[in-house]
Amino acid sequence: MSSTIKVALAGAGAFGIKHLDGIKAIDGVEVVSLVSRELDKTRETAAQYGIGHVTTDLAESLARKEVDAVILCTPTQMHAAQTIACLRAGKHVQCEIPLADSLAGAAEVVALQKSTGLVAMAGHTRRFNPSHQWVHSRVRSGEFNIQQMDVQTYFFRRTNMNALGQARSWTDHLLWHHAAHTVDLFAYQCGSPVVKANAIQGPIHPTLGIAMDMSIQLKAANGAICTLSLSFNNDGPLGTFFRYIGDSGTYLARYDDLFTGKDEKVDVSKVAVSMNGIELQDREFFSAIKEGREPNSSVAQVLPCYQVLHDLERQLNAG
C-alpha cells in the first residue's frame, strides 16, 4: 500500500456524500472509485469530487489493484454480503450502520474479519460525535456515571424516502438501523453490556411492511437503564436526541452538539480535530489501517449490539 490510502466508495446517496465531504478534510486519503446504481448521477458526483473511476458494479471496483479500502453506504440489505465481498477481495472495509440486518450476517462478517486480519469497521457514528465523546471521557475518568439514557429517534417518513427527501430503492428499518445506534451507544457509554431488553411496536405499514413506531427498554449489567422511542410518523422536530441522566449532571446530546439539562451549551470544540462525526469516524478507519490496529467500532466490538437486536426481533415477532 502506498502512503496514500486509495478508497472506493459505494453508494453515492445522502450518506455517501457526507463521507466524500469528510474525506476531503483528511490528508493521505484519495477516493479513486465511485460505485452507485444510477450511472449518469454517479458520473456527475464523481466529476464534482474529482474521482476518476465510476461504475455500477462493486465487483469492478474490488478488482482494481489500486483500491486499498472500501466504504459502503449502500442499502441495509446489502451490507453483510458486500462487507464479506470486500474482505474476500483483500480490502479493508468500513460499512455504514447497520453492519447487517440479521445476527447471522453480522457474525459471518466478524468471523471472516478475524481470519483475514483486515480492518473492518461499522459506522456506529454516535461513538464519534464530539457530544458523545465528551460524555464518554467523563464516564471513563469517573467524573460522571450514567443512571439513565432517554433517547428519541424521530422522522417524518410516511413514504419511502432518504435523508434528502429523495425516493429510496429500499426500505429503511427502525429496529435494524435506527435502534442500532442507541443499543450500541448505551452499552459503549456505560462500559457495561446490555443484559435485559424489551420492545413493543405499533401497526405494520400496509405498503412498506415495517412498523412505523417502536419503543425499546434496555438495562445494562451495571444497573443503568435506557428508554428509546422511535417513529417514522413524527412531524417534527426531526432527528435523534439523547438525554444522559447521571449522578453529577444531566446532558442533552443533539448530534455533534451538547447541552446541560438547563439547555446551556457545552463547549465540545476541543474534544477532537473536527466537529463532524462522520469525518471523525472516517479518520479512525484510516488511522487504524495505517497503524495496523483494531479501530473503535470494529465489527467485533459492535457484534453484541446485533445480538440484542436479534433478541428484540424475536420478541416482536412472537407478539
Rounded to 5 degrees, what are φ and ψ at 49?
Answer: -105, 5
pLDDT digits (tens, 9 = 90+) for 34-72: 999 999 999 999 999 999 999 999 999 999 999 999 999
Rounded Cα distance between 249 and 260, Å, is: 8
* Residue indicated by cell numbers 428509546: 228
What pLDDT is attached to residue 65? 97
List b or e across 87-118, with b for residues whose CB sees 16 or more CB atoms inside 10 angstroms.
bebebbbbbbbbbbbbbebbbbbbebbeeeeb
What pLDDT is attached to residue 272? 96
Contact present, 255 and 247 (Cβ < 8 Å):
no
Rounded Cα distance between 235 and 237, Å, is: 7
pLDDT digits (tens, 9 = 90+) for 238-293: 889 999 999 999 999 998 899 999 999 999 999 999 999 999 999 999 999 999 99
Q: Does a cis peptide bond (omega within 30 degrees of 0) precede residue 203?
A: no
Low-confidence ranges of the chain (pLDDT < 70): 1, 159-171
What pLDDT is attached to residue 172? 77
Grid coordinates standing for 253?
446530546
pTM of the complete model: 0.93
Sign for the pseudo-dihedral over CA of 84, 104, 150, 218: negative
* 245 Cβ contact partners less than 8 Å away, ≥ 6 residues apart: 146, 147, 148, 149, 150
With 0-12 / 13-18 / 19 or more C-beta atoms within 10 angstroms meaning exposed / middle / buried, residue 46 is buried
Strands 5-10 and 29-35: parallel
Rounded Cα distance between 294 and 108, Å, is: 18
Domains and CATH numbers, the chain: 5-124+277-298 (3.40.50.720), 129-271 (3.30.360.10)
With 0-12 / 13-18 / 19 or more C-beta atoms within 10 angstroms meaning exposed / middle / buried, residue 210 is middle
What pLDDT is attached to residue 1? 63
Greatest alpha-carbon pair distance for the chain in Å reads 54
Strands 5-10 and 69-72: parallel
Grid coordinates standing for 20?
466524500
Q: Helix or strand or coil: residue 54?
A: strand
Type of residue numbered 26: I
CA distance readout (Å), 110 to 104, 122, 177, 203, 261: 10, 11, 18, 34, 39
